[in-house]
Amino acid sequence: MSREHATPSKYKQRISYTIGEAGHDMAYNMMANLFIIYATTSLFAGLKNANQLIALLTSSIVVIRLCEIFFDPLIAGFIDNRKTTRFGKFRPWAWGATILHSLLLIVLYSGFLRFLDKNYALLAATVIVFYALIDLIYTVKDTSFAGMVPALSVDSKERGIITSYARIGAALGGGDIVPLFMIPAVVFFTYLMTGQHQQGIQGWFWLGLILAIYCMITMTISMMNVRENTSIIRESRKRANIKDIFKSIFQNDQLMWVSLTYLIFAIGNVTSKPSIFYVYNYVLARPTWYWVVGAASAFCGIFSVPFYPILCKWISRKRVYLLAISGMLLAELLFIFSGKNLVLVVIATVLFFLPQQLIALVTMMIAIDSIEYEQLKHGIRNEAVTVSVHGSLDKIAGSLSSGIVGFIVIAANMSNANKATDLSTQNIQTFHLLAFVVPAILMVISLIIFLWKVKLTEEKHAQIVDTLSEKLTRPKVVPERGNN
C-alpha cells in the first residue's frame, strides 16, 4: 500500500491527535498538580519530617522547571536529529516516553516513598532524583508529541485546526475535569481498600493507576491513527549540532518576536489569574463564589477554542490577537472598578478566561509557521526545537507566578488579614494596582510588539511553503565538463 493510501483523513487525524492530547495533559496534571495534593494530604502525612519534605519537594520542582528552560531545546534537538523511521520521526518517541512515564507515575502513586521514612536523607534524595527523572521523561514525551503538529501538515490553516482540537482535548483530559471527581474517587477507593471514609494512600494509588492506564491507552490510539507528513520540505533538513540548535532559535526573528510577545502577556496573565481568588475572598468577602473561576476557566476554554479556525476564516490572526487582548484588558478594568459588585466581578471573570486560549493559539501557530520561515531564510529546520520554545515560555511565567503573587499579598497586607474588613481602602488600591493595572500595562506592551514586529501572516507563510517546494523540487544543474 502506498503512503498516500495509508494517510488517514484530516478529520480522523484531528480526532486522533485530540485523543492523545487528552491523555498527554492528564499525565502532566498527575505530575504537576495532583501529586502535590497527594503528597501534602496523604503521602507525607504523619511523617516526622513532613513539613521539610513538602518544602523540599516544592522548591525542587521550581528548580527543576527552571533548569528545563535550558534543557528543553537540547532534548528537542536530539529528537529532531533522529532519523525518520517507518513509523515517523516523532511517533516512536511520543509513544515510548508515554508508556515509560505512565509506569513511573504508577510507582510514584504507589506510596513507596513511605518505606524510606526512617532515613530522611535517603528519602529526600529519592524524592528529588525520582521527580527529576519523571520530569525528564515527560519533557521527551511533551517535546515529541507537540513537535508532531508541524510534522502532520505544512498547511498553516490545518495546523491551526489540529491545535484547536488538541486544546479541547487538553481541557477535557486535564486540570478542568479531574477536580470534579478526584476527591470522591480517592475516598471511594480508600473505603473499598480499608473500610474508612477518608483520603488514604490506597485510594490515591488506585486513582493514579487508572489515570496512568488512561494515558497509555489514549496515546496508543492516537499514535496508531496519525501519520507524519512526508513532503520534500520536511525531508530536506540537515543534522544540527548544539550550536545550530540554539542558532535556529535566536536567529529566527519571527520566533523571537512572537515569543517575546507571548512571554510579556504570560507574565501579566499569571499575575492576575491567581489574584482573582483574593478578589472573591477579600474584596467581595464571598469566598464561596470562587467556584465561578473554575467554571469559567473550564467552559470558556472548551467553547472558545472551536471558534479559532472560524475566526481565522473571516479575519487575520493579527486581528484575532487584537480582539483577544482587548477582551483581557476590559476584564482587568472591570476587576479594578467593580468594587463590591458581584455581578461585575463574575462578568470580569468570564471575560478574563474567554480570550486566553485564542491568545495561546495565535502565538503558537505563528511560532510553528516560523519553522518554514527559518528554513527558507537560513536553511535550518528544527521542528521540535521551535515548538519547545512556546512551552518554555509557560514554564518561565509559571515559575515567576508564586513569587509575584506572594509579593502582591504582602504589599497589600493580605498576609496579615483574616477577613475582608481587616483591609483598608489603601490596601485594596495597592492590590488592584499590582494585580490588575500592572498586568494590563504588560498586555498593552505585548500587543504593541505583536502589531509592530510580528510579520508572519497566513498569506506570507503560504508563499514561503510554495517557494520552498519550488526551490527543493527544482532539478540541480550540473555543469558539463569541458573536453581536454
Considering the domain architecture, whether residues 10 and 99 belong to the same structural domain is answered as yes
The whole domain housing 424 covers 240-468
Cell of 358: 485564542
The answer to whether residue 477 is domain-embedded is: no
* Mean pLDDT of the region 363-385: 85
Quick one: 222 and 244 in the same domain?
no
Write the pLDDT tens digit of every residue in 135-187: 889 889 988 888 888 888 888 888 888 888 887 777 766 555 665 677 788 88
Write down the pTM of the prediction: 0.73
Domain end (from 199, 229, 259): 229
Q: Is residue 235 part of a domain?
A: no
Looking at the structure, tell me whether residues 327 and 209 fall in a common domain. no
Name the residue with higher pLDDT: 462 or 483.
462
Residues 253 and 179 in one domain: no
Give the CA count within 13 Å in the CB-facing half-sphere of 100: 16
255 and 163 inside one domain: no
Domain final position from 229, 262, 282: 229
- In a domain, residue 484? The reply is no
pLDDT, one tens digit per residue, over 101-135 is 999 999 989 888 888 877 878 888 888 888 889 98
Structure confidence by residue, pLDDT tens digits, 381-401: 777 788 878 777 877 777 676
Query: Are residues 248 and 164 part of one domain?
Result: no
Same domain, 75 and 179: yes
**Residue 146 counted as domain residue:** yes
Predicted confidence at residue 2, as pLDDT, reads 37
What is the arithmetic mean of pLDDT over 183-212? 86
Mean pLDDT of 209-218: 93
Domain check: are 99 and 80 in the same one?
yes
- Domain-ending residue, one of 209, 229, 249: 229
pLDDT in tens, 15-47: 999 999 888 888 887 876 678 778 877 777 777
* Number of structural domains in the chain: 2
Provide the pLDDT for residue 366.
93
Say if 344 falls within a structural domain: yes
The C-alpha atoms of residue 271 and residue 352 are separated, in whole angstroms, by 12
Whole-number mean pLDDT of the chain? 82
216 and 158 assigned to the same domain? yes
Report yes or no on 183 lying in a domain.
yes
pLDDT value at 209 more than 90: yes
Q: Does residue 48 belong to any structural domain of this protein?
A: yes
> Could you tell me if 324 and 462 lie in one domain?
yes
State residue 419's pLDDT score: 62
- Say whether pLDDT at 405 is over 60: yes
201 domain-assigned: yes
- Residue 252: give its domain's CATH number: 1.20.1250.20
Tell me how far apart the alpha carbons of residues 391 and 460 are, in angstroms, rounded to a whole number.
25
- Reply yes or no on whether the pLDDT at 234 is more than 70: no
341 and 446 share one domain:
yes
Q: Are residues 28 and 106 in the same domain?
A: yes
Q: How far apart are the first and last CA of the chain?
A: 50
